[in-house]
Amino acid sequence: MKQSQPRYIMVGGFLGAGKTTAILKLAEHLKRQGRAVGLITNDQGTGLVDTAMARASDFPVEEISGGCFCCRFNSLVDATRKLTATTRPDVLIAEPVGSCTDLMATVTLPMKQLYGENYRIAPLSVLVDPIRAMRVLGLGGGRQFAPKVTYIYRKQLEEANLLVVNKCELLDATQTAKLVAALKQNFPKADVFAVSARTGDGLAAWFDRILTGELSATDIMDVDYITYGVGEAMLGWLNATARLSGSPVDGNELLLRIGCALRDRLAKADAEIAHLKMTLTATGDGLDIAVANLVRTDAVPELSFRLAEPFTEGELTVNLRAQAEPALLERIVREVAGECGAALGSLASFKPGQPNPTHRVDAGGVEHRPVLP
Ligand SMILES: Nc1nc2c(ncn2[C@@H]2O[C@H](COP(=O)(O)OP(=O)(O)OP(=O)(O)O)[C@@H](O)[C@H]2O)c(=O)[nH]1
Ligand SMILES: [Mg+2]
């Protein structure tokens, strides 16, 4: 029997934490139980890898591009309505932009207050990549973002109801215990879960909480919107598409080679990668897709989806978010595209604008407008 109120689940977390991967796992889990799911993706730009991945997984998806949920709250509401009308979902799962914070005050609580009759609002989950989280919390060495970007990262953790350490199979038991303890100590309000969206470990307990738990009244945190705006604008965004054609090649290898070429140039320019994600789709077969990702400049690109057939002709999509000027990202992408014989189609590079949320309310419904520059 259909639930009259679909559950609205939001899975936040910094760029590259594994939100899309975890959301697709949750969607598959629900599908196996015979429950209908609708997905909502979000980005500052258009031409999204996440939407392509959701579509390739064959779930109904609505995309909100050109701004984040908090600044385009009414578009989010329209997307939930549209999915509700077309697919009668039992569960709606929304992925906010990974450089956004203050989601509790600007999305979760407004959703509950304005549309609580229509949707059951789940507790807010925030995923973390463990290597990045250890660096931010001082538990591990390696390249860091600038302090104002790290401000956003820490604010994301501070507002979580459920803090989810993802990719746990990358850590040994001692490292996981240390990270979980540090998160509990620094962010005592949150319940901490340790999972691997890739292997499935630990997902059941977290899924159970978001599927059955209620959002209890919660305080909103202080956010310095000036620091938040400056931090977000330190991240350059680039979305591009390109056509590739030639004799049949291993498209998976080709995608990894492009990833390495981009990474090497970004490393030389001292640009810390937040998330480089790319898809390669063969012409005429949107369901056969390769996806490559890289979530730090000092890591290696890896494939999260593989093309099943040799690649002859098709489209490359590049979504690059890094701490760098957009012009630098553009120059590097143009150089690498030229070297691989990729004919660039659309290309947009920019910095996110100053966040200015549609609503910002506490659990009692009182408006708290942020102080903007
Ligand atoms: N090792 C490992 N990698 C994972 C796991 N979950 C996700 N990843 C990888 O992490 C990278 C980023 O995953 P995404 O799901 O695209 O991350 P995201 O948070 O949606 O990223 P943005 O949309 O850019 O903010 C990809 O390479 C995934 O395959 C995991 O449990 N273990
Ligand atoms: Mg994503």
358 exposure class (CB count in 10 Å sphere: 0-12, 13-18, 19+): middle
Going by alpha carbons, the residue nearest to atom 7 of ligand 1 is 18
Judge whether 157 and 189 are in contact, CB under 8 Å. no
Range in 42-51, 58-67, 215-224, 238-247 with the lowest mean pLDDT:
42-51
**Mind listing the pLDDT tens digit for each residue in 343-357?**
999 999 999 999 999
Q: Which ligand approaches the C-alpha of residue 169 most closely?
A: 1
pLDDT tens by residue, 99-157: 999 999 999 999 999 999 999 999 999 999 999 999 999 999 999 999 999 999 999 99
Q: Say which CATH topology domain 235-350 has.
A: Alpha-Beta Plaits (3.30.70)
Residues with CB under 6 A from ligand 1: 13, 15-21, 50, 98, 166-167, 169-170, 196-198, 275, 277, 293, 295, 302, 304
**Mean pLDDT computed over every residue of the chain:** 95
Q: Express as a percent the part of the chain with pLDDT over 70.
A: 98
Nearest alpha carbon to residue 59 among 88, 80, 38: 38
Note the ligand closest to the C-alpha atom of 21: 1
Nearest 5 degrees, angle CA 355-CA 361-CA 365?
160
Residue 286: pLDDT above 90?
A: no
Residue 97, pLDDT score? 95
CA atoms of 52 and 41, how far apart (whole Å): 10
Among 20, 42, 44, 153, residue to substitute to test ligand 1 (most atoms within 8 Å of Cβ): 20
Query: Under CATH, to which class is 7-229 assigned?
Result: alpha beta
Among 8, 225, 3, smallest CA distance to 109 is for: 8
CA distance 256 to 250: 10
Q: 83: burial class by Cβ within 10 Å (0-12, 13-18, 19+)?
A: buried
CB 316 within 8 A of CB 336: no
Separation CA 263–CA 316 (nearest Å): 17
Residue written as tokens 């959701």?
Answer: 54
- Cα(136)–Cα(142) distance, rounded to whole angstroms? 10
Ligand 1 atom nearest residue 99's Cα: 25
- On the question of a common fold for 7-229 and 235-350, the answer reads no
3-state secondary structure the chain: CCCCCCEEEEEEECCCCCHHHHHHHHHHHHHHCCCCEEEEEECCCCCCHHHHHHHHCCCCEEEECCCCCCCCHHHHHHHHHHHHHHHCCCEEEECCCCCCCCHHHHHHHHHHHHHCCCCEECCCEEEECHHHHHHHCCCCCCCCCCHHHHHHHHHHHHCCCEEEECCHHHCCHHHHHHHHHHHHHHCCCCEEEECCCCCCCCHHHHHHHHHHCCCCCCCCCCCCHHHHHHHHHCEEEEEEEEEEEEEEECHHHHHHHHHHHHHHHHHHCCCEEEEEEEEEEECCCCCCEEEEEECCCCCCCEEEECCCCCEEEEEEEEEEEEECCHHHHHHHHHHHHHHCCCEEEEEEEECCCCCCCCCCECCCCCECCCCCC
The reported pLDDT for the residue numbered 285 is 67
Largest CA distance in the chain: 62
Whether the predicted pLDDT of 46 surpasses 80: no
- Write down the domain spans for the chain: 7-229, 235-350
The average pLDDT across 234-257 equals: 95
Ligand 1: which of 39, 128, 278, 304 to mutate, judged by most atoms within 8 Å of the beta carbon? Answer: 304
Question: Which ligand does the CA of 12 lie closest to?
Answer: 1
Question: Which residues, listed in sequence order, are joined to residue 290 by a DSSP beta bridge?
Answer: 280
Q: What is the pTM of this model?
A: 0.96
Ligand nearest to the CA of 203: 1
Looking at per-residue confidence, does 72 or 55 come out higher?
A: 72
Alpha-carbon distance of 283 to 243, in angstroms, equals: 10
Q: How far is the CA of 18 from the centre of ligand 2 (A)?
A: 7
Mean pLDDT, residues 158-173 taken together: 98
Give the β-pairing of 272-282 and 311-323. antiparallel
Total residue length of the chain:
373
Q: How far is the CA of 297 from the centre of ligand 2 (A)?
A: 18
Query: Token match 């910095």: residue?
Result: 351
* Among protein residues, the one whose CA lies closest to atom 2 of ligand 1: 167
Of 80, 142, 140, the C-alpha closest to 111 is 80
| Substitution candidate for ligand 1 out of 15, 21, 203 with most atoms within 8 A of CB | 21
Nearest ligand 1 atom to the CA of 166 is 31
